[in-house]
Amino acid sequence: MDYFPIFLKLQGRACVVVGGGEVALRKVRLLSQAGARVTVVAPALVAGLAELVHQGRIAHRAGTFVAADLDGVRLAIAATDDRAVNQAVFEAGEARGLPVNVVDDPELSSYITPAIVDRSPLVVAVSTGGGVPVLARLVRARLESLIPAGFGALAGFAARFRDQVKARFADVEARRNFWESVLEGPIADAVVAGNIASAEAQMAQRLAEPDAPSGAVYLVGAGPGNPDLLTFRALRLMQQADVVLYDSLVAPELLELVRRDAERVFVGKQRANHTLPQEDINALMVRLALEGKRVLRLKGGDPFTFGRGGEEIEELAANGIPFEVVPGITSASGAAAYAGIPLTHRDYAQSVTFVTGHKKDGSIDLDWPALTRPQQTVVVYMGLSTARELCAAFVAHGRAADTPAAIVEAATTSRQRTLTGTLATLPGLIDAAQIKSPAIIVVGEVVSLAERLAWYRGGNPDGVAASKVQDDGGEG
């Protein structure tokens, strides 16, 4: 180990940055975040530093560096493009026993400024000994994606209960086990999600009854199918869950990201073919949570957009089960974006409406006057099985038969297929191509842009163009 890692307490301590450029500005900001009293020594300052001086947040001594600038200082940084000046700062620091960093010059540095992941009070520092700063930044970027933004709040939350936990558990091993269960369970999830009141209530209960089950349910939007479109929060919960309840709208690729040893339960619902009725799914979530398990209810798209998430959390709330809802990219947004169909456009559509292809009773008796207004886009969920009836109903209620319409199958995945036509021709295209669920129907003038704007071809190298040729009666 070439460098001994250490965290310096700089609150209220005098620090000097020599240099008035952009690099110096970055270092000044870091020192200020640590609470240091910063003085910049430089003949002139860039605008950012000048503004900090104007605000009274830092001091400035205009002029060239002299050794006396380091008298009474706790730490110094040299950030000039003049190596002679940088060396003078280093030598003056060495003579005074001060830690000195010369930016990008390990030979003239007694310490290295690491790449930092800041989740204060949790701070992670990464260093390559000054040899490969780019690698340190790459590692930091990886850590940024792995460490939730709320971990700082979690560290502060845990610190507040440290004395209570120590008093409750005299045995060190029992105390460690308790903290592990807290920091890897629903209490930590609540803190990270910003629900401090719920976390405090759960913590009080755990301290009173440390052996009581502590289950929770997470309704997670898995997005339209492409794993790259998951939120960080969704991915973390997928890798922590004890049990995963999923349906047929969840792409197989997404299930590969679930924790390997998690129990997987298929609760898929398809029209007229329910593996589990909704009431049974609700009861299953409650039972598993009461057993102390972390239950992941994984839903395609977004839980609150035709995902019955509202019904499910009503049941959880009624039974006092802690829960969290993690939004996902709704299938309509994903399908439209990957098909090159903007849902709104100043020239074509000033509004967009999401609608399900059939009601609870299976009928398509929808609000047709609202759905057939001009200059709007209508996105139909779960409309594949009733596509012919839907297209006919659009025409019967006033939309022109030549209104552009499209269907996007397995949107955002390698299996995506996009067919474009009109209300008159789309049902025939669907039958000919044997489109299967999951599929989204889009109706409106914006569909006419798909041929020019489609950028993602999925598993079909011909993409939208192929379906357009088929619609025009060409040889394909």
Domain assignment present for residue 270? The answer is: yes
Q: Is 4 among the domain residues?
A: no
Q: Are residues 347 and 279 in the same domain?
A: no
Task: Based on the fold, state whether residues 382 and 431 are members of the same structural domain.
Answer: yes
Number of structural domains found in the chain: 3
Residues 312-364 have pLDDT tens digits of: 999 999 999 989 999 999 999 999 999 999 999 999 999 999 999 865 555 67
**Are 281 and 337 within one domain?**
no
- Residues with a catalytic annotation lie at 247, 269
Structural domain boundaries, residue 439: 332-471
Q: Based on the fold, state whether residues 301 and 358 are members of the same structural domain.
A: no
pLDDT in tens, the chain (476 residues): 788 888 999 999 999 999 999 999 999 999 999 999 999 999 999 999 999 999 999 999 999 999 999 999 999 999 999 999 999 999 999 999 999 999 989 899 999 888 889 888 888 999 888 778 889 889 988 888 888 888 889 999 999 999 999 999 988 888 988 898 888 888 998 898 888 998 999 899 889 888 777 789 999 999 999 999 999 889 989 988 999 999 888 888 899 999 888 999 998 765 545 567 889 999 999 999 999 899 999 999 999 998 889 999 999 999 999 899 999 999 999 999 999 999 999 999 999 999 998 655 556 788 999 999 999 999 999 999 999 999 999 999 999 999 999 999 999 999 999 999 999 999 999 999 999 989 999 999 999 999 999 998 765 544 443 344 333 333 33
- Is 130 domain-assigned? no
Q: Is residue 167 part of a domain?
A: no
Find the CATH number of the domain harbouring 453. Answer: 3.30.950.10
Domain boundary among 94, 113, 132: 113
- Annotated binding residues for NAD(+): 22-23, 43-44
Same structural domain, 305 and 391: no
Which CATH number covers residue 65? 3.40.50.720
Mark whether 274 and 232 lie in a shared domain: yes
Sequence ranges of the binding site for S-adenosyl-L-methionine: 224, 300-302, 382, 411
Residue 341 shares a structural domain with residue 447: yes
pLDDT for the residue 196? 93
Please indicate, yes or no, whether residues 275 and 395 belong to a single structural domain of this protein.
Answer: no
Same structural domain for residues 325 and 365? no
Last residue of some domain: 262, 295, 329? Answer: 329
In a domain, 88, yes or no: yes
Residue 137 falls inside a structural domain = no
54 part of a folded domain: yes
Task: Confirm whether pTM is higher than 0.85.
Answer: no
Q: Return the closest-CA partner of residue 371 out of 447, 444, 307, 445.
A: 444
Q: How far apart are the first and last CA of the chain?
A: 65
Query: Does any domain span residue 49?
Result: yes
Residue 464 confidence (pLDDT): 44
Q: What is the pLDDT of residues 118-163, one digit of tens each?
A: 888 888 999 888 778 889 889 988 888 888 888 889 999 999 999 9
- Which CATH number is 294's domain given? 3.40.1010.10
Residues 300 and 378 in one domain: no
Binding-site annotation, residues? 22-23, 43-44, 224, 300-302, 382, 411
CB 174 within 8 A of CB 131: no
Are 311 and 359 part of one and the same domain? Answer: no
162: its two tokens = 């440290």
- Do 358 and 233 sit in the same domain of this protein? no
Mapped to the 3 state alphabet, what secondary structure does the chain carry? CCCCCCCCCCCCCEEEEECCCHHHHHHHHHHHHCCCEEEEECCCCCHHHHHHHHCCCCEEECCCCCHHHHCCCCEEEECCCCHHHHHHHHHHHHHHCCCEEECCCHHHCCCCCCEEEEECCEEEEECCCCCCHHHHHHHHHHHHHHCCCCHHHHHHHHHHCHHHHHHHCCCHHHHHHHHHHHHCCHHHHHHHCCCHHHHHHHHHHHHHCCCCCCCEEEEEECECCCHHHCCHHHHHHHCCCCEEEECCCCCHHHHCCCCCCCEEEECCEECCEECCCHHHHHHHHHHHHHCCCEEEEEECECCCCCCCHHHHHHHHHHCCCCEEEECCCCHHHHHHHHHCCCCCECCCECEEEEEECCCCCCCCCCCHHHHCCCCEEEEEECCCCCHHHHHHHHHHCCCCCCCEEEEEECCCCCCCEEEEEECCCHHHHHHHHCCCCCEEEEECHHHHHHHHHCCCCCCCCCHHHHHHHHHCCCCC
Point out which residues pair with 15 in neighbouring strands: 38, 75
What is d(CA 298, CA 227) in angstroms, rounded to the nearest whole number? 13
